[in-house]
Chains A and B, each alone.
Chain A
């Protein structure tokens, strides 16, 4: 199952420039997991709005999951998509 352990930011050396936020997904672009002809896969963090976790002192916050994020440029999709 998905690993929901707290994200260890120290592994990323505080390099804010290598963290990209797109919607609910934060991507650590310095943590490359794989690269293919059409896509690049990075490690990331996904904010799960539908599942909330309790925080100390009361209240809740969205659950965060460590995930793999596959990035495909729209240009590549336009280039290859219909041929598939």
Chain B
């Protein structure tokens, strides 16, 4: 999935190798850490900083949407930052291809604080669940 996602705001997948016991996925290194750590360190972001990060996150989400991919685990810990502060969306471990004509999703996966209500309720959901998570992150 990641190999077909090429965008400046999505972490670049480089290669994968495997050993007898494990799989190893190689990604570009983001030296700026993640948004969760940044928030813990700074307490809160300024409106300008939040706006800059949110715009890049929205761009990444737009690309996912165009490729019929639902991330399903959007949260600050999965938003990486490069050394110059560029946003890179990461961790596609729960992501799934989704197209409305194939039916809605039902797996209850993700991180509780950022989950859309329909997932928490165990109802069917679609790509709009990612949009809810982005709203929580912005808040």
Instruction: Report B7-30 residues with CB < 8 Å from chain A CB.
Output: 11-12, 14-15, 17-19, 21-30
Interface residues on chain B, number (Cβ under 8 Å) = 27
A3 B29 Cβ-Cβ under 8 A: yes
Please, which residues of chain A bring their CB within 8 A of the CB of B26?
25, 44, 46, 67-69
Q: What's the least CB distance linking A69 to chain B, in Å?
A: 5
Whether A32 is near chain B, meaning CB under 8 Å from some CB there, is: no
B109 lies within 8 A of chain A by Cβ: yes
Question: Is the Cβ of A68 less than 8 Å from the Cβ of B93?
Answer: no
Set A2, A27, A38: member contacting B28, Cβ < 8 A:
A2
**Cα of A70 to Cα of B11 in the assembled complex, Å:** 12
B34 contacts partner chain A, Cβ-Cβ < 8 Å: yes
Chain B nearest CB, measured from A83 CB (Å): 7
Which residues of A sit under 8 angstroms from B77, Cβ to Cβ?
A: 34
Does A10 sit at the interface, judged by CB under 8 A? Answer: no
Are A74 and B21 within 8 A (Cβ)? yes
Residues of A that sit less than 8 Å from B by CB:
1-3, 22-25, 27, 34, 36, 38-39, 43-44, 46, 65-75, 77, 83-84
Write 14 A-B pairs (CB below 8 A) sorted by A numbering: A2-B28, A22-B17, A22-B18, A25-B17, A25-B24, A34-B77, A36-B93, A38-B93, A65-B29, A66-B29, A67-B27, A72-B22, A72-B25, A84-B109
